[in-house]
Amino acid sequence: MTSERYYGLIPAAGAGERMGQPRPKQYLDLLGRPMLHHSVKALLADARIDTVFVVLAPADREFKQYPWGEFGGRLAPLYCGGATRHDSVLNGLVAASSTVEPEDWMLVHDAARPCLGRRELQRMLDELAADEIGGILGVPVADTLKRADPVARIQATESRENLWQAQTPQMFRHGLLLQALGRTAKLSDEAGAVEAMGLKPKLVQGSAENLKVTYAEDLQLAQTILTSRGNQA
Ligand code: CTP
Ligand code: MG
């Protein structure tokens, strides 16, 4: 019998430069709450998630200005963010080591994905519970893909067969993830580090609604999605 636990880890130490706003995007208002609040809430919606660690910039002064009481002891801020997302996740994994066992599952989830759905999270936990390696949420590429030349003229039409877009959460055992991220740098996601060890993470069907808020117009879309679910905060 397995007795491993499930934890969330949300890197939230970025500057959100592409949003073009003075404050980091994790604190931008989304239905009266900072965006980070929705991302935390989405992970904690599944009772199997024990605690969500949030990795903040060491100089973060904003987190404490918001009320987090509704999550009780299930939310744990860690002021150990680094210069890149990779560093923030790695520092967070190290800081969480005092609580988390190597066999426990870590679900690494971007603060910038506030619309993670309950159903997709549940599917991920169900499909990967007995998995040897772990996996990520993703969606098969639906659009026709064009390769461009440097002046945006189409050079070729690429096959989209077996191509997926990677999302978060990315779910791996703490020990494996620590080892994988410690060996590589400059990868944009956790799965890439695990792949670099010669392992094949599983792709779990996600939803296009789990968008990453990167540019200003994405925030409006996120608001529309949350509102359509009747999620007011
Ligand atoms: N992140 C982090 N530490 C960093 C950089 C990013 O914890 N040094 C986090 C962000 O806060 C975000 C997630 O990683 O939750 C995904 O990164 P991204 O969408 O690129 O956010 P930013 O880096 O903040 O945005 P930008 O690249 O536009 O500056
Ligand atoms: Mg970034």
Instruction: Report CA torsion sign: 86, 91, 96, 97.
Output: positive
pLDDT at site 188: 76
CB distance 85 to ligand 1 below 6 Å: yes
Closest residue by Cα to atom 8, ligand 1, is 84
Q: Is the pLDDT of residue 52 over 70?
A: yes
For 56, the enclosing helix (H) or strand (E) is strand 49-56
**What Cα–Cα distance (Å) separates residue 113 from each residue in 132, 145, 171, 196, 208?**
26, 24, 15, 25, 11
To test the pocket of ligand 1, the residue of 27, 85, 219 to mutate (highest count of ligand atoms within 8 Å of its CB) is 85
* 1 confidence band (pLDDT: 50, 70, 90): very low
- Mean pLDDT for the stretch of residues 131-156: 97
pLDDT, average across residues 162-167:
98
pLDDT digits (tens, 9 = 90+) for 175-204: 999 999 999 877 779 999 999 999 999 999
Q: What is the mean pLDDT of the segment spanning 23-41?
A: 97
Instruction: Place 2 in a pLDDT band, splitting at 50, 70 and 90.
Output: low
Q: Are strands 154-158 and 145-148 parallel, antiparallel or unpaired?
A: antiparallel
pLDDT at 187: 76
Give the per-residue pLDDT at 54.
98
Instruction: Give the count of beta carbons closer than 10 Å to the beta carbon of residue 97.
Output: 13
Task: Say what the pLDDT of residue 144 is.
Answer: 96
Digit-coded pLDDT (tens) for 89-118: 999 999 999 999 999 999 999 999 999 999
Domain 6-228, CATH among 3.90.550.10, 3.40.50.1980, 3.40.630.10, 3.40.640.10: 3.90.550.10
Contact of 167 with 113, CB cutoff 8 Å: yes
